[in-house]
Structure 1
Amino acid sequence: MKPYPLKCNPEFKDRVWGGRALEQFGLALPEGPIGEGWMIGDHPNGTTTVANGELAGLGLDRIRELYGKTLFGSKGFSEKNGRFPLLIKLLDCQDDLSVQVHPNDHYERLPQGELGKTEMWYILDAKPGAKIIYGLQEGVTREQLAAAIADNRIMDCLHEISVEAGDSFYIPAGTVHALGAGVLVAEIQQNSDSTYRLYDYDRLGLDGKPRELHIEDSLNVIAYEGSGATYMKTELSGPQQWLTLVQSPFFITEKGRVEGEWSLQTVPDSFVIHIVCEGTGAIRWADGELAVKAGECFLLPANLGDYALAGSMTVLRSYLP
């Protein structure tokens, strides 16, 4: 089989905080408040199937079994569970998300085969005044946080930041965080669905019942001395240049502006994932061309080799370190 850029059928997740904003990308959403589109995933809670080309109809898990390191690269597997190592999402936050934290790979209470969750956010759009929670106030200890939770004053311990389109946030495991209402986000993360909720505004879930909190696990995994979280504005100096947003042990993510044609290539040790943030264009390679537009995500096999991005668009590029 000749390699080509893979586009997947998203797995959509209804969430109490979700909405319909992902429809602006031409996505056909199921009914209900859709908070998450899992665009590229190989997880028991959501495995995407390929929508185009020779591999159409196959799940990413089956492709992994059939073609292994040829397509995903010599580094393209989790050492812990053998699955595809990343999960790519688009998030529509019409309401505040729960205040939460994620464990690292080594937390002893993780489900069997599950990874920890280090992630990053790129803000695609934000309504005026939109905010996120990003870490604890300086100096907050486990004991102080536990007392604040018991007294229902956890918000006093949290660090809040105003956001706008183009902001980028690195969220290592152990970082307390929450997206706020009015943001549309591209998320690159470890292939994990492990979330511990500290606080959920006393609201009910879609089933009409209070959503579960995970206070003890949260207190256990928070990095009270700092997790290494960083954030940045991402204005680009010009087209055809990569700006590094995140360089983590699990993925590297860069932002670039395409104007005209930009010649690039994959290497044998890692796949490349492109998220189109805005604009339109095409991916060209030796055997074809694929039209692309904002909101679409593509998995470029490690053995694709030379390719080009063409058109006028802003893209994120993620690959393994």
Structure 2
Amino acid sequence: MKPYPLQCQPEFKERVWGGRALEQFGHELPEGPIGEGWMIGDHPNGTTKVVNGELAGLGLDQIREQYGEAFFGSKGFSKKNGRFPLLIKLLDCQDDLSVQVHPNDHYDRLPEGELGKTEMWYILDAKPGAKIIYGLKDGVTRESLAAAIEENRIMDALNEITVEAGDSFYIPSGTVHALGAGVLVAEIQQNSDSTYRLYDYGRLGLDGKPRELHIEDSLNVIAYENAGSTYMKTNLTSSNEWLTLAQSPFFVTEKGQVEGSWSLQTSPESFVIHIVCEGTGKLRWADGELNVKPGECYLLPANLGEYSFEGSLTILRSYLP
């Protein structure tokens, strides 16, 4: 079978902090507040199925089993569990998310086969004044944070940042963080669903009960000195060139502006994932083409070879280092 760019049916997740903003991308959402669209995933809690071409109807796990290294590349599998190593999401935050932290791969209380979670955010849209929580204030220790939690003043220990569209945040495991109300986000992360909540504003879950907190696990996995988190503005000064947003042991994410035609190529080592952020155009390869628009995510097999984008587009590119 000839390789081609794969597009998946998103797995939509109802979240107490979600809304309906993902409808703007043409998605048909289930009822309720939808906070997450899992756009490309191969996880027990959500495995996406291909909707285009010869492989339509197959889950990403089935494609992994049938086509293996040819499609995903020599690096394209988690060493810990053999699954697809990344999870790609779009997040609609109509309310503040819980203050949370993620473990690394080596935390001994992870469920068997589960990965840690290093991730990055690219802000697609933000209401004026929208904020996120990003890291601890200088000098906060495990002891002082535990005391702040006990005394219900955790917010005093946290950094808040006002955000706007185009901001990019790298969030290694161990970084305390929370998205705030009024942001729409593309998230590239390790293939993990492990989140430890430190604080949730006394909020009730969708079931009407208080949401579980994970204080001990959180205190255990926080990187109190510096997890290596970085953030940046991503204004591009030229087209058809890549700006590196995140370079981690688990993924590289770059941003580019397509103007006209931009010829690119995959490598045998890794698949490539493209997220369309703005604009419209075409994705072309040897055997076909697709019209592309904002909010769409494409998985390009490692053996696709040469391809190009045409039109006027802002895109993100992610691959394995």
TM-score normalised by the chain length of structure 1 = 1.00
Q: Which amino acid aligns with 1:239?
A: S
2-side partners of 1:309 and 1:86: how far apart? 23
> In structure 1, what is the equivalent of residue 171 of structure 2?
171
Deviations 1:155-196 (A, max 9, x none): 000000000000000000000000000000000000000000
Partner amino acid, structure 1, of 2:213? L
CA distance in 2, matches of 1:91, 1:286: 33
Could you list the runs of 5+ residues in structure 1 that have no partner in the other structure? none
**1:75, 1:164 → 2: CA distance?**
34
- What is the SS of the residue equivalent to 2:308? strand
Letter in 1 for 2:74: S
Mapping for residues 1-321 of structure 1, pairs under 5 Å: 1-321=1-321
Which letter maps to 2:112? Q
State the alpha-carbon separation in 2 of the partners of residues 88 and 241 from structure 1. Answer: 23
State the alpha-carbon separation in 2 of the partners of residues 221 and 301 from structure 1: 34
What is the deviation of 1:117? 0.0
CA distance in 2, matches of 1:310, 1:29: 29
**Which secondary structure state, in structure 1, belongs to the residue aligned with residue 7 of structure 2?**
strand
Instruction: Please state how far the C-alpha of 1:215 moved relative to its aligned partner.
Output: 0.1
Q: CA deviation at 1:199?
A: 0.1
Q: Secondary structure at the match of 2:100?
A: strand
- The superposition leaves residues 94-141 of structure 1 with CA deviations (integer Å, 9 ceiling, x where unpaired) of 000000000000000000000000000000000000000000000100
Deviation (angstroms), 1:268 = 0.3
Q: CA deviation at 1:213?
A: 0.1
Q: Distance in 1 between matches of 2:109 and 2:309?
A: 43
C-alpha RMSD of matched pairs (Å): 0.3
| Amino acid paired to 1:45 | N
Q: Deviations over 1:9-64 (max 9, x none)?
A: 00000000000000000000000000000000000000000000000000000000
What residue identity is the alignment partner of 1:161? I
Unaligned runs of 5+ in 2: none
Provide the identity percentage.
Answer: 84
1:67 Cα deviation from its structure 2 partner: 0.3
Moved over 3 A (4+): none
Q: Counterparts of 1:82 and 1:181 in 2: how far apart (Å)? A: 36
Give me the whole-angstrom Cα distance separating, in 1, the residues matched to 2:45 and 2:207.
19
Task: Give the number of equivalent residue pairs.
Answer: 321
* Alpha-carbon shift at residue 89 of structure 1 (Å): 0.1
Cα deviation for residue 249 of structure 1 reads 0.3
**Separation in 2 of the partners of 1:107 and 1:311?**
45
Q: Distance in 1 between matches of 2:92 and 2:268?
A: 34
Rounded to whole Å, the distance in 1 between the matches of 2:150 and 2:247 is: 37
CA shift at 1:142, angstroms?
0.1
How far the C-alpha of 1:93 sits from its partner, in A, is 0.1
